[in-house]
Structure formats: structure tokens, C-alpha cells
Amino acid sequence: MGCIASSQRVDVITMSTSEDSWQNASGKETVLAALVRLDQDIEKSEKLYPAQRLAVVTAELESIQQEIKNFEETTNSITNIESYPKTMHQIFVNLDLYRRPILATENEDFVANVNRKEMRKLELNWLRVREKELQSDRRRLHAQLLRIRSLYTQLKQLLSCIWTDDERPGTSLEGACERARALRDALALVSARLRASAESVHTALRLLDDALPVWKLASVGKSGWERTRACSDACRLLVQARCSERDARRVLVATAAPRAARALRLAMDYAFTDTMHDHKYQRTTEAFVQFKDALVQLVNSIHQVLLNNVDNLAMAEKDLTEKRRQLRAARVNDIVKRGLADLHCESSALASLKLKARE
């Protein structure tokens, strides 16, 4: 029969798995039909890999919650998305940078420091939104896992009514199923990590595709406010893209940021003053494009590994399905041989059968 992978505790309502409630609900079903149904339901539910996906989501959530805790020690929350462009616009007005662009170089470090603090607020906001998404995913996956556990409990109750542990047919096949399931689960966990990481990289690429056209407007706007607003919009999208890229590395447990990501962060710090000088604007644009190229390379590498994993997972799934079929056939044949195929899952009938099995 085996067991399923454990998961972290979350606050959800557990489903009833009591023997009486299940038997009352299945009273009109024969023992044979119940055995086949439960086995097939377990197999079908496990093919969604909720345990493996829950492990990935939980690990990512814990990492993000720790990051949020670190952010909150030094960064205030952003209350209004419009405060970012207005803050940067006011800095430009106070320093008279719109009318005297030559002063931008002298004040670029100060402007970059203010921009860096504002972008950290955006990053904290992204982390909190992502935290809520992961919490929702965790509740949904945990509910699926609880259903599988309920099915295993029902199957165990049914088997205990028909056979004792020593008499149950196919015990050697049960061990083979356990080993096949362990291999399948290990490959499924790798697949879940790769798929989650690839999804985050694709999200980052979509955000970059949105940010680059907006970034072009930052150098051609008719007024200082239009240029500052375009730059802030581009940086907001780039912050989200950078967070998604880091999310992909978080899932893969790859903590070291690539050179393109570090270059992007520095370019974003000085983005507002760089828009006032053509050569600096071009250099910053190149940093954005190089980051996009790095993301394309990353997602291609993930896809290549994922394709190999998918083939191995399919073979493991096929092997597990065959061993489960053999085990189910052994149990069904024994039930038919003992003349129990038409026995209904009623409390009295199962209690009597259980008593006879132990005599």
C-alpha cells in the first residue's frame, strides 16, 4: 500500500477519514468495485504531483518570508504607486536638473541613492504580493494532499477487513510499488522545481518586453515630468523582472546572482540621471538587453534539463502504473477466488469479514 510524502503543517480543515463514515457512504458499492476505485483514484490524484509541488511552494514561501523580514527592518512599505515618480520628479525639480542637465553628473550618486530606496519599497511590495500567491497555492495543494491521504486511509481500512497482514496477496509487489513510487516522486520533485523556475523566468521576460519600450520614452519625452514618469514606469517593471529572476534562482537553490543581474541592478540605480546623457543612456540600455539575453539562456537551459526529466519521469510513471496494475490484479483475483466479489461495503458485512480474516 505504501505511504505518501509528508508536508508542512498549514491551517486547513481536515477531511473525515473515519471507518464508519466511509462505510456508510460506500454501502451500495461492492468490495471489488471499492478496491479498484480507491486504487485508481489514488493513482489519478498522485499524477498531479501535489506533494512535490507543495514542497517547492513551501520552500519558496519560507525563503520569501525570511526576505520580507529582512526588508522590513530597513524599508518602509509603499502606500501609493504614484509616490515613486512624484518623489523622483521632486528631486529633479529641487536640484534644478531639468533646466541644467549638466548638474546631473554631479548629483547622480545622490539621485541614485534616493532611487535605490524607492525601488526597495517596490521590491518589498512585490514580495508581499508573491507571499499571498504562494500561501493560496499552499492551501490548495495541501487540500489535494489531504484527499490523497483520505483515499489511502480508506484503502487501508478496506484491505484490513479482507485480509490480515500475513495473508494479504502481493506483498512482494507492494515493495516493488514502494520503490517505483519513490523513484517517481524524486523525479517529480525535480520536475516541479524546473517548471516553477521556468515559469518565473518567462514572467521576467514578459516584464522586460514591457519595460524596454517604456524605457525608450524616458529619453524622448516632451517634458521633464514625462521623461521621469516613463523612467519610473520602466524601473517598476524592471524591479518586478529582477524579482522574478531571483525567484527562479530561489526555486533552483542558486543563490549567486549572475553578472547580468548585478549589472542590471547598478544600471537601474542610475537610470534617472543616465537618461540625460546619450552615451550613458545607451550603456544602460545595453545592460537591460544583456539581462534579457541572460534570461533567455537560463530558460533554454532549464527547458533542456526539463525535457530529459520529462522522459525519465514518463518511464518511471509507466513502470509504477504497471506494478500497481499487477498488485491490483493479484488482490482482485484473490477476492474473486474467495467468492467475495459481490460483497457490499456495509458495516455489518465488513465487520463479519474482518472477524473471519482473523480467525
260 falls within a domain: yes
Distance CA 229, CA 217 (A): 9
pLDDT score recorded for residue 220: 87
30 strand-pairing partners: 344
Distance CA 317, CA 256 (A): 34
9 falls within a domain: no
138 falls within a domain: yes
Using one digit for the tens of pLDDT, what is the confidence trace for 245-275? 999 999 998 877 889 999 999 999 999 999 9
Supply φ then ψ for residue 30, to 5 degrees.
-75, 160
220 falls within a domain: yes
224 falls within a domain: yes
Up-side HSE of residue 69: CA atoms within 13 Å toward CB?
6
- 77 DSSP assignment: P
* In contact, 330 and 173? CB cutoff 8 Å: yes
Cell of residue 214, nine digits = 517604456
Using one digit for the tens of pLDDT, what is the confidence trace for 40-60? 999 999 999 999 999 999 999
Residue ranges, the chain, pLDDT below 70? 1-27, 77-79, 346-359
331 falls within a domain: yes
Give the domain extent around 217. 19-357
Q: Which residues of 313-344 are buried (b: 16+ CB within 10 A; e: fewer)?
A: beebbebbeebbeebbebbbebbeeeeeeebb
Distance CA 358, CA 194 (A): 49
How many domains is the chain built from?
A: 1
4 falls within a domain: no
Cell of residue 51, nine digits = 506533494
125 falls within a domain: yes
